[in-house]
DNA sequence: ACCTCAATGGATGCATATATCCATTGAGAT
DNA sequence: ATCTCAATGGATATATGCATCCATTGAGGT
C-alpha cells in the first residue's frame, strides 16, 4: 500500500516539517530517522527534484522544507515514490480487469470502501500535519 | 496489500468454487486464469497443503475444492500467501513503532479505519462467494 | 587560491517475489 | 507389468525494491 521508501520520505518530511526554519544535514536526518544514510540521500534528492525540499551544498549546507510544501497533501509524496496508480487506485482486489460496477467481483463494494478511505486519508493529510 | 501470488490463489479458488463437483487439471486452470502453468503448480500445491483444495495424480487427476473450503474466509488464503502480519494488520501507516492510541501519528485514526475495512472485507467474504 | 564540507549521481550489491525448467512420483488405462 | 498422464518438488532464472560504495560537484571558510 505504502512502500518502505515512501514511508521513509514521509518520515523525513515529518522531521523537516517540525523545524521549518532550520537546514538539516543528511547525516542528522539519517540518525534521527534510522534510515541508512546513503539510501536516504537518494530519497532527499527525489524530494528535491519534486520541489518538496530545498538543498544547499557544502559548508553549512543541508535540507530544508520548501516554502509551500507544508500545505501539499501526502498524496503528492506517494505519487513521487509509489507512482500514480498507487495513489489513485481504481483496481480490483482480485486483479480482475473485467471488474467494474456493472460486473462487480465478490469484494468490489467493500474494496471500493477501503480505497476511498485511503484516498481521503492521503488527500486530507498535509505534509505539515506530520510534524510530531 | 494483497500480493500478486495471493490474488492468483484467489482467482484459482474462484474457478474451483464455481465448479465444486469437478476435478480440473492444472493446465485447464492455467488457461482459464492466465497464470503461468509452472508457477500455478506451486500455488496449487500450497493450497493443497493448507487444506483448501484436494488433488489427485495421474490419469483423470487434477484439483478440486476441499469439502468445507467454501465456507473459509478469504483471510485464510491471505495468511497462507502473505503471512499473518498482512492479514491482521495493526501497523502504522508511517511505519512508526511508537505509534499507538496514546501517541498517534497524523494518520493514525484514518489508517485504522482503512485497516478495519480491509479486515472486515477479508473475514466477511468466503471462498464460495468468489465463484462468478 | 586552497581546503574542507556536504550534496549529487553513477555503478554495483543484496534480498525477495515472481517465473521457468526438468526430473520424480504415483495413479489409472491397457 | 507396462505405459501414459498429471501432480510433486528441487534447482535455477529474472525483475524489482532496498541498500551500499565511491567519485564528482559546488559552496563556504581560511
Q: What's this model's pTM, rounded to 2 decimal places? A: 0.92
Q: Does B14 touch chain A (CB under 8 A)?
A: yes
List protein-proximal bases of chain D (any atom < 7 A from a CB): 4-10, 17-22, 25-29
Please give the pLDDT value at position B91: 92
The secondary structure of A57-117 as a DSSP string is: -STT-EEEE-GGGGGSBHHHHHHHHH-HHHHS----TT--SS-SSSS--TTHHHHHHHHHH
Give me the pLDDT at residue A95, please: 86
> CA of A87 and C1' of D30: distance in angstroms?
50
The protein residue nearest nucleotide D20, judged by CA to C1', is A38
Contact A126, A71 (CB under 8 A): yes
Q: Which three cell numbers stand for residue A68?
A: 509551500
Give pLDDT, residue A16.
97
Q: Tell me which residue has cell 469439502.
A: B67
pLDDT digits (tens, 9 = 90+) for B5-43: 999 999 999 999 999 999 999 999 999 999 999 999 999
Q: Which residue of A has its CA nearest to B86?
A: A1
Amino acid B95: pLDDT: 86
Interchain CB distance below 8 Å, B117 and A120: no
B20 vs B74: CA distance, rounded Å: 17
What pLDDT is stored for residue B113 in this prediction? 96
> Could you give the 3-state DSSP secondary structure of residue B98?
coil
Query: Which pLDDT value is given to residue A126?
Result: 97
Q: Any chain A CB within 8 A of the CB of B7? A: yes
**Which tens digit of pLDDT belongs to each residue from B88-120?**
999 999 888 889 999 999 999 999 999 999 999
Nearest Cβ partner of A125 from B74, B107, B120?
B107
Question: Quick check: A81 and A3 in contact, CB under 8 A?
Answer: yes
Q: Which B residues in the span 44-103 are in contact with A, Cβ-Cβ below 8 Å?
A: 74, 93-96
Domain boundaries, chain B: 1-82, 89-126
Output the CA torsion sign for B75, B81, B84, B85: negative
Fold of A1-82: Arc Repressor Mutant, subunit A (1.10.10)
Other beta carbons within 10 Å of A7: 19
Backbone φ, ψ for residue B120 (5° rounding): -65, -40
Q: Best mutation site among B43, B107, B120, B128 for testing chain A: the one with the most A CBs within 10 Å?
A: B107
B-chain CB neighbours of A14 within 8 Å are 94, 106
Does the pLDDT value for residue A98 go beyond 90? no
Residue A96 pLDDT more than 90?
no
pLDDT, tens digit (0-9, with 9 covering 90-100), for A57-94: 999 999 999 999 999 999 999 999 999 999 999 999 98
User: What pLDDT was estimated at residue B126?
Assistant: 97
Amino acid at each position: 500500500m505504502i512502500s518502505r521508501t515512501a514511508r521513509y520520505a514521509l518520515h523525513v518530511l515529518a522531521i523537516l516539517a517540525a523545524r521549518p526554519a532550520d537546514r538539516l544535514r543528511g547525516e542528522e536526518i539519517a540518525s534521527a530517522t534510522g534510515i541508512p544514510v546513503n539510501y536516504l540521500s537518494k530519497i532527499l534528492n527525489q524530494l528535491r527534484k519534486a520541489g518538496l525540499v530545498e538543498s544547499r551544498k557544502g559548508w553549512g549546507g543541508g535540507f530544508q522544507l520548501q516554502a509551500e510544501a507544508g500545505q501539499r497533501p501526502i498524496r503528492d509524496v506517494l505519487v513521487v515514490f509509489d507512482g500514480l496508480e498507487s495513489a489513485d487506485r481504481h483496481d480490483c482486489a482480485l486483479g480482475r480487469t473485467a471488474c467494474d460496477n456493472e460486473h462487480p467481483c465478490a469484494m468490489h463494494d467493500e474494496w471500493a470502501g477501503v480505497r476511498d478511505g485511503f484516498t481521503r486519508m492521503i488527500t486530507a493529510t498535509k505534509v505539515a500535519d506530520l510534524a510530531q
